[in-house]
Structure 1
């Protein structure tokens, strides 16, 4: 009798739990591991040099990975695994944007409050542009041929012409910007970390089109876009991914992800979205339709691997991290602390899909 009661109670609890998941994560299917979508580490590329890191940018056509390293940008050939060059004097570097049709690249230098302009072929510096305070994310809009730096301490975006490097204006954002994504049709979407919002910007007139609340997502960081279906994938500090309609700002789904995400990527061919998580995991999500999503897998990576780039040619993922000491040191001006990096342990992780069966 007690066994029967226990089973009934257990069944009831399970039913409540499943109902709760369905309520919290509408339009989400927990599908389990699909072999053809199961990513795993296939290679580790150790790189010399000290310092931290931030965003990764991959030029799939040129086969180059741009790795931001505190005071410089290291450029890696992803086919050979060899370093092909370095762009120095980028104090507090955060990100790299590329304009292949102009053969130009752009680097956001957080400590210098500048953007470096360089030649994509030679890696030689062409010039610098003054920005707002602590430029973080940097995005090139191919339609308007403008570059946007999102300034973390100024709560603004600096906009300049990619050809002439002339500053065209400053856009007030009303909050601290994190990462951004362009839709190629004249809009850029940027997360506001402290407001838990995404801001839509018109790249033609440099006006804010709207502020969209991301609740229940909080502290949004990485963002990627499915341009065909007009969906934004946004990683949040409270272990959620929000899928947002890029036309209306409505939330289409909310999915559970790993801890300490910092980058999101989307592959339009496989229709997979990825969240790289600092806990040492990669959450893989499949877009079944524009309004239905399946959690495919949570892949073990390495602690600290929270930034990521996607190779659209091979569908491989590139993450960077290092090994850390057990003790932490405070980050100046911030409450949080970061673990101390062990010198000589910086590495690029290369992940690929398991062959379909």
Structure 2
């Protein structure tokens, strides 16, 4: 996430014309805005759901905020932060990690007490991050210096650095010891080998300007990148080319996947909409409609247990001169709840 609110050789562009440009769809998605959960003031970036505890984690500016999804009880400050970007529970452990943009560190926090067990220097403005099961590493994208940091979650030590270059955004593991990362200012997605610690492929995202959110779907056969020019591009990573371009909304910053229900969601903060994608057929991923949400809702998370989508947002004031978006109005922060409609 290059903006705080709450993934070698380039291929010739001419060879990567999108297979089609989908028309902007009408509503009728099987999802509806079902309410909201009020929370404390502050900015926001990524959010994640831990289905084992039923907890929503929000990277909430100067704090990690949690929500018990059963009771909707909010803990405003599980732990303090400094321009938090990513917050994610490490599977099988009692810790989460948080990327701390202002301090250039990745912090490991006890999920029960909020105690900061370690602060690990990673790079300039660490942003997106994920846990890679195949290599048992926490992987962090450093947006301001173009590097990817690899951290051993047991020792809390950096075990390697991968030089990528550019403004790194979100990244996703491939489950085999590799990963893909969007590079926002180069309009590409790079494939990296986490074991060999090197870039192995660069794919031009033809028709995509400013890729931010990223997801790997279809058993690893398709990548979905959310782009700042109101489209999402679908890439075949094996072939190394864009295979579809989908019309979405303005200012997206995440791609959220619900594999069990064959759906992906792209929250569009600039237009206040949630694009709903059918991903059941990897060769024919399509937008099936939109849900009206709220201006500013550009990131979020899905609860795989029931398919509910949670989107942090707030009422935004008029932007100051030169600013891309307005500041959140005090007393208006909330997490929107988008739920599957009854069949």
TM-score clears 0.5: yes
Give the helix-richer structure, 1 or 2.
1
Quote the Cα distance in structure 2 between the aligned partners of 1:338 and 1:307.
15
Residue 227 (structure 1) shift: 5.3
Paired position in structure 1 for 2:129: 138
Quote the Cα distance in structure 2 between the aligned partners of 1:25 and 1:247.
16
Paired position in structure 2 for 1:302: 294
1:242-290 C-alpha deviation (Å, 9 max, x unpaired) = 1112333322211000011111112112211111001200111112422
- Contact in 1 for aligned 2:18/2:244 (Cα 8 Å): no
Paired position in structure 2 for 1:147: 138
Quote the Cα distance in structure 1 between the aligned partners of 2:93 and 2:221.
26
Residue 149 (structure 1) shift: 1.3
TM-score w.r.t. structure 2 length? 0.89
Quote the Cα distance in structure 1 between the aligned partners of 2:277 and 2:152.
36
- Contact in 1 for aligned 2:263/2:276 (Cα 8 Å): yes
SS in 1 for 2:311: strand
Paired position in structure 2 for 1:115: 106
Question: C-alpha root-mean-square deviation of aligned residues, in Å?
Answer: 2.0
Aligned with residue 36 of structure 2, among 31, 34, 44:
44
Quote the Cα distance in structure 2 between the aligned partners of 1:353 and 1:251.
30
Residue 307 (structure 1) shift: 0.8
Paired position in structure 1 for 2:336: 349
Question: How do 1:1-357 and structure 2 match up within 5 A?
Answer: 26=20, 32-34=26-28, 37-48=29-40, 50-84=41-75, 86-226=77-217, 228-278=219-269, 279-326=271-318, 328-329=319-320, 336-356=323-343
The runs of 5 or more residues in structure 2 that have no matched partner are: 1-16
Quote the Cα distance in structure 2 between the aligned partners of 1:89 and 1:66.
13
Quote the Cα distance in structure 2 between the aligned partners of 1:64 and 1:209.
36
Q: How many residues align?
A: 326
- Contact in 1 for aligned 2:57/2:88 (Cα 8 Å): no
1:285-334 C-alpha deviation (Å, 9 max, x unpaired) = 112422112321111101111111111111110001111222x236xxxx
Quote the Cα distance in structure 2 between the aligned partners of 1:229 and 1:172.
24
Give the strand-richer structure, 1 or 2.
1
Paired position in structure 2 for 1:3: none
Quote the Cα distance in structure 1 between the aligned partners of 2:67 and 2:51.
12
SS in 2 for 1:269: helix
Residue 85 (structure 1) shift: 6.4
TM-score w.r.t. structure 1 length? 0.86
1:76-116 C-alpha deviation (Å, 9 max, x unpaired) = 11121112463333111111122121232110000000111
SS in 2 for 1:225: strand
* Structure 1 residues 25 and 249: CA distance shift in structure 2, 3 A: closer
Bigger RCO (CA 8 Å, 6+ sep): 2
SS in 1 for 2:239: coil
- Contact in 2 for aligned 1:186/1:204 (Cα 8 Å): yes
SS in 2 for 1:341: coil
SS in 1 for 2:320: strand
1:150-188 C-alpha deviation (Å, 9 max, x unpaired) = 111111111111111111121111211011111222121
1:48-102 C-alpha deviation (Å, 9 max, x unpaired) = 2x32111111112221111111111011111211124633331111111221212
